[in-house]
Structure 1
C-alpha cells in the first residue's frame, strides 16, 4: 500500500469510528450545548487526534529514519543501511532504492579513490626518484666541491667551509629522508615489519618521540596493496602525533585477530577531543576502503588518541612472514 493510501486509510478509520459512535451511541447535542455534552465532544475529539497522531507517527517513522540517515551518511564509513519495512509499498520501495543508491555511491567512491591514490603513489615514486637522482647527486657534487675548496683554503676560511660542508650534508640527509618517506623502498624489499621498524626509528630520531613497537610473530602473508595501506596509515598516524598530540610516548602494534590484521597506534598526548576530522584522517579512511578495511579513531587508554586499522584476512593465510626482519617487541 502506498503512503497516500495508508494515510487515507488511517484517517478514514478514525473518522469512521467517530461517525459510528455518533450514530449508535446514546449521545446527542442540544442547543445550546450543555456542559456535559461539550466535555464529551472535546474528549472524543482529543481521542481522535491522539489516535490519528499515533497512527501517523507509526506510518511515517521509516521516513524520519531515512531523513536522519540522509543528513549523517558518510561514504567513508560504508555499511550504513536502513532496514526495509515489511511490504512493498511506497516507503519500502523508497528505502530500498536509497540503500541501492548508497551501495552504488560507495562502490564508485572506492573506485575513484583507488584511481586517485594510485596516481598519487605513482607521483610520489616519480618525485622520490628525482630527489634521489637529480637533487641528491647535485648536492653530493656540491659537497665534494666544498671539500676540495676547504682542503686548499687558508685556515681562517677553512672553518667556514667546513660549516658549509656540514650544512650541505644535513640538507642531503634531509632530501634522502624525504625520498624514503615518499617511496618506502624498504617496504618493497624487506616487507611490512622492516618498513614499520624503519619508519618508527626515523620518527623517533627526528621528533624525540619514544615509540614502542609490538609485532605478533605469526603475521599472515599480505598483498602489496594491503601492506602499502598499512604503512601509509601508520605514517599518517605518527605524523599526526608529531604535529598535534604533544605526546612523549607512543605505541605501534600489529597483531593478528580472528579474521583480521589490526594495526594500532596509541599516544599519551592531549587527545583528539571534539576536533573535526581533517584531511589526514579522511585520507586514512579512503585508503582503508581500498582493501576493505575499517578505521576506528577514539580516546586511548593513557589519555591520548587511539587509531585502529582492521584489515580483513582470509582464515587460511596464517603463514608467518618476515621472521628475519625482526618481529616481536622493540623501542625507538
Structure 2
C-alpha cells in the first residue's frame, strides 16, 4: 500500500467510525441546535481529530527519523544508517536512502583517494624542484658570495657575509619546506624516524613536543604510514598555529593485536565550538582512505586530544 492510500485509509477509518456512531447512537440534531447536542458534536469532532493526529503520527514517525538523519548526515563520518521500519512505501524509502548513502560514501572515498594521490604526486614534484632547482641555485649563489667576500675590502666583506647569512637562512627554509612537502625520511627510515624528526621540527620556541613511540609496532603498508604521518603533521600544525599550547605529546603505539593508534594531545585552549576547517576535513578524508577511525576530544586538563586508530584489517589497504 502506498503512502497516499495509507493516509486515506486512516482518515476514512476515523470518519466511518464517527458515522456509525452517529447512526447507531441516540444523538440527534434539532433545529435550532440544542446546547447538549452541540456539546456532543463538538466532543465527537475533537475525538476524531485527536485520533486522526495520533494515527498519522504513528504511521509517519519513520519519515521524521529519515528527515532528521538527512539533515545531519556527514559523508566524512560514515556508518550512519536508519533501521528499516514502517510498511510498504516508507520501508522502501528508507532502504533506498541507506543504499544511496552506501553509494555516496563509496564514491566519496574513491574520489578522495584520487585527489589525495594527485596531491601527494604534486607535493613530490614541487619538493623535487625546490631541492634540485632553487636549492642548487642558492647553493651556487652562496659559493659566489663567499668567493667575492674573500677578495673584497673589509667593509664590503662584512656586508657580503650578512647577505651570505641571509641566503643561507633562505636555503634552510626552502629545504624545510621541501621536507614537509615530501617526507623523504619516511620513505628511507620508516614511520618512527619520520615522526621523531617531525616532533623535533615542531619543538620551537614556546612549544615542546614530547614523543612516545612504541617499539613493538606491527608492519604497516606505505599508504597507512603516509596517512599516519600526514595526520600527525596536520595536528601539530594546528597546535602550533591555533591552540596557544606550551606542550604537545605525540604518541604512536600498538592497539590490540595488530592495530595501531596515533594520538596527539596538547594543553592549549581546545577546539571549543569552532567549525572544522579544511585541515581537519583533510584529516578525515585521509582516515577514510585506510578505514581508520579519527576522533577529536577534549584532553584532560584542557586542550585537544586527536586519535587515529587503524584496525588490523585495514593496515594493508
Corresponding residue SS for 1:27: coil
Corresponding residue for 1:76? Answer: 76
Shift of 1:215: 2.3
Matched residues in 2 for 1:61 and 1:260: separation? 41
- Residues 16-95 of structure 1: pairs in structure 2 closer than 5 A: 16-87=16-87, 89-95=88-94
Corresponding residue for 2:208? Answer: 210
Deviations 1:188-211 (A, max 9, x none): 111111111100100113x54111
Corresponding residue SS for 1:230: helix
Corresponding residue for 1:8? Answer: 8
Deviations 1:131-161 (A, max 9, x none): 1111111111111111111111222222212
Paired positions, count: 315
Matched residues in 1 for 2:314 and 2:239: separation? 33
CA RMSD of aligned residues (A): 1.8
Matched residues in 1 for 2:105 and 2:79: separation? 9
Matched residues in 1 for 2:249 and 2:58: separation? 50
Deviations 1:1-53 (A, max 9, x none): 22112111211221121122112222222222222222222222111111111
Shift of 1:68: 2.0
- Residues 215-230 of structure 1: pairs in structure 2 closer than 5 A: 215-230=213-228
Q: Structure 2 unaligned runs (5+)?
A: none
- Residues 178-327 of structure 1: pairs in structure 2 closer than 5 A: 178-205=177-204, 208-258=206-256, 260-314=259-313
Matched residues in 2 for 1:33 and 1:216: separation? 88
Matched residues in 1 for 2:253 and 2:26: separation? 77
Q: Structure 1 unaligned runs (5+)?
A: 318-332
Matched residues in 2 for 1:181 and 1:247: separation? 22
Shift of 1:311: 1.6
Instruction: Report the CA distance shift for 1:225/1:28 in structure 2 as closer, same or farther (over 3 A).
Output: same
Shift of 1:315: 10
Deviations 1:277-299 (A, max 9, x none): 11111111111111111221232
More RCO (CA 8 Å, sep 6+): 1
Matched residues in 1 for 2:65 and 2:171: separation? 58
Contact 2:14 2:52 in 1 (8 A): yes
Matched residues in 1 for 2:197 and 2:315: separation? 29
Contact 2:135 2:171 in 1 (8 A): yes
Corresponding residue SS for 2:270: coil
Question: Normalization by structure 2: what TM-score?
Answer: 0.94
Runs of at least 4 residues of structure 1 off by over 3 A?
314-317
Corresponding residue for 1:169? Answer: 168
Matched residues in 2 for 1:315 and 1:249: separation? 31
Deviations 1:112-138 (A, max 9, x none): 111111011011111111111111111
Contact 1:255 1:263 in 2 (8 A): yes
Contact 1:262 1:311 in 2 (8 A): yes
Instruction: Report the CA distance shift for 1:168/1:9 in structure 2 as closer, same or farther (over 3 A).
Output: same
Contact 2:270 2:304 in 1 (8 A): yes
